[in-house]
């Protein structure tokens, strides 16, 4: 696949950060870890990876804004462009030696995501996309799965944990979904969940309580793989509402109807 100069910059930043994460993954027991909140951790690996990514991106485009998970947003003098970065999506997996984590980098132009990269250094899987240019896994073009009914589908989700999310509401959603589908999965990295939808591994995915850096790259990846994405209100403000429901045309619509069923009253 032909990549633009900007996408090449993003890929190189992701690969460089991934190399650092791979080294730290092998020595995870020696990492310094801090607690940001209940069940929410940050390690020296996260911080080092974000610095690598930021240095690479800002060297190439110093006027662009930068929004990363670790640290405050930096406004760019450009005004139209912003990098949205999660240097280690799946920190809890990483710290437990589970090889499901990723680097996620997206480029936003005038409030629209125009390029994205998701990289899992543990499996050497590199997902790339540009608006109008398709979605790829290690240069193989991606298409979302073609299943048309939930009963044939495997659906990904996010599971709220200690200190995060509305546990009761999620359990109702899960009860509704699990009665309609062939299987439900949770990876522990929203970026990879969305990449799996784009790759046709998951037929759909839903989650609330997300942040822009969790989903920005994945949103474009799914769209460029022929998928449909909405927020929980049926609109397209996924970054603003911190919610997402996605799949192909049929599954996204059916999944949205199921997860939004009213909570039963006594």
What confidence score (pLDDT) does residue 263 get?
72
Residue 30 has pLDDT above 90, yes or no: no
What confidence score (pLDDT) does residue 33 get?
66
Closest CA to 17 of 60, 41, 47: 47
- Contacts of residue 253, defined as CB under 8 A and 6 or more positions apart, other chains included, come to 228
Residue 34 has pLDDT above 90, yes or no: no
Query: Can you give the pTM of this predicted structure?
Result: 0.93
Sign of CA dihedral 216, 10, 15, 131: positive
pLDDT digits (tens, 9 = 90+) for 118-160: 999 999 999 999 999 999 999 899 999 999 999 999 999 999 9
pLDDT digits (tens, 9 = 90+) for 176-208: 999 999 999 999 999 999 999 999 999 999 999
Specify the DSSP element, H or E, that contains 103: strand 102-109
pLDDT digits (tens, 9 = 90+) for 73-119: 999 999 999 999 999 999 889 888 899 999 999 999 999 999 999 99
pLDDT digits (tens, 9 = 90+) for 55-67: 999 999 999 999 9
| Burial label, 226 (beta-carbon count in 10 A; 0-12, 13-18, 19+) | middle
pLDDT band for 264, please (50, 70, 90 cuts): low
- Contacts of residue 166, defined as CB under 8 A and 6 or more positions apart, other chains included, come to 160, 208
Residue 14 has pLDDT above 80, yes or no: yes
Q: Tell me the two tokens of residue 123.
A: 């499996």
Q: Report how far residue 184's alpha carbon sits from residue 95's, in angstroms, rounded to the nearest whole number.
A: 24
Q: Report how far residue 91's alpha carbon sits from residue 127's, in angstroms, rounded to the nearest whole number.
A: 19
What confidence score (pLDDT) does residue 253 get?
98
pLDDT digits (tens, 9 = 90+) for 230-249: 999 999 999 999 999 999 99
Q: Tell me the two tokens of residue 78.
A: 């450009």
Sequence ranges of the binding site for Mg(2+): 69, 86, 88-89, 214
Q: How far apart are the first and last CA of the chain?
A: 56
Lowest mean pLDDT among 12-26, 35-49, 180-194, 231-245: 35-49
110: left (phi over 0), alpha (psi -120 to 50) or beta: left
Domains in the chain, ordered, with CATH? 5-141 (3.30.540.10), 150-259 (3.40.190.80)
CB 180 within 8 A of CB 207: no
Residue 36 has pLDDT above 70, yes or no: no
Sequence ranges of the binding site: 69, 86, 88-89, 214
Residue 39 has pLDDT above 50, yes or no: no
């Amino acid at each position: 696949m032909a990549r633009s100069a900007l996408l090449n910059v993003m890929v190189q930043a992701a690969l460089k950060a991934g190399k650092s994460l791979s080294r730290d993954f092998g020595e995870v027991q020696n990492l310094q870890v801090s607690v940001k909140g209940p069940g929410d951790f940050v390690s020296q690996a996260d911080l080092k990876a974000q610095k690598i990514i930021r240095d690479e991106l800002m060297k190439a485009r110093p006027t662009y804004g930068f929004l990363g998970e670790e640290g405050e947003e930096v406004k760019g003098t450009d005004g139209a462009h912003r990098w949205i970065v999660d240097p280690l999506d799946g920190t809890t997996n990483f710290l437990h030696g589970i090889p499901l984590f990723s680097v996620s980098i997206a480029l936003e132009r005038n409030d629209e995501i125009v390029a994205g990269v998701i990289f899992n250094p543990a499996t050497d899987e590199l997902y790339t996309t540009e608006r109008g240019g398709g979605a790829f896994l290690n240069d193989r073009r991606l298409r979302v799965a073609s299943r048309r009914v939930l009963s044939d589908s495997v659906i990904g989700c996010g599971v709220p944990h200690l200190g995060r999310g509305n546990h009761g509401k999620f359990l109702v959603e899960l009860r509704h979904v699990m009665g309609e589908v062939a299987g439900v999965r949770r990876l522990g990295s929203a970026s990879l969940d969305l990449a799996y939808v784009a790759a046709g591994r998951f037929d759909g995915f839903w989650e609330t309580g997300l942040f822009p850096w969790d989903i920005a790259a994945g949103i474009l990846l799914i769209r460029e793989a022929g998928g449909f994405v909405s927020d929980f209100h049926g609109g397209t403000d996924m970054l603003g509402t911190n919610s997402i429901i996605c799949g192909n045309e049929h599954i996204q619509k059916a999944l949205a109807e199921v997860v939004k069923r009213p909570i039963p009253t006594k």
